[in-house]
Every structure is written in structure tokens, then in C-alpha cells.
Amino acid sequence: MGFLSNLFGIKSVDFKELMQNGAVIVDVRTPAEYNSGHIKGSINMPLQSLNNTMNKLKKDKPVITCCASGMRSGSAKAILKSNGFSQVENGGGWTSLRSKI
């Protein structure tokens, strides 16, 4: 893992296994970005409104965050973890995450 991977909290995670365990994919890009393409079944919760929308998620279910590059999803992971979500993984960019699930 390189410096950027460590910086953004992206580690070797079995995303397929998380999905089999009921993980929810939260795409934190803007609605316009999300509408231009996203992972089927993902939920769009833009980062800027995550504090107001996270109550729609279950704290006991795994959550995978994604965005365009991995920066916003890293921030989203930190926000969710600090609000009591125990199983949160930064999936990074949605296009690369899509190929891992």
C-alpha cells in the first residue's frame, strides 16, 4: 500500500464478502455526479448532507463509502465512524469499487 492509500484509509478489504454480509454502498458524490453513473443498488448521500441523512443507515450493518476518487469517501468514513457506525470501509472511487464487488 502506498502513501495515498494509507492517508485515505484504503486498505485491502474483501468488498465481495462485505456485500455478502449485507453491506450498504453509500455514494457521497453530488446528485448530478451520481446520476451520471453509479453502482447499482448504491445509495446517494452527498457528503455535504451526510450529517442529516446518516440516520437512514443502520449502525449495525456494514457500510462501504465511495465517491469519484476516494477523498470524499474517506471523509464520509470518518464522519460515520465518529457517529457510532462500527463497520465502515472506504471503497474509494466508485468505478474501481464496482469492479471489486
Taken in order of first residue, the domains within the chain and their CATH numbers are 16-47+58-98 (3.40.250.10)
> Is 67 a catalytic site residue?
yes
What φ, ψ does residue 39 adopt, rounded to 5°? -80, 130
Catalytic residue among 67, 76, 80, 88: 67
Question: Which residues, 6 or more positions from 23, have their beta carbon under 8 angstroms from its beta carbon?
Answer: 15, 61, 62, 63, 64, 87, 89
pTM here?
Answer: 0.87
Over residues 28-81, the pLDDT tens digits come to: 999 999 999 999 999 999 999 999 999 999 999 999 999 999 999 999 999 999
CA dihedral 81→38→57→51, nearest 10 degrees, is 60
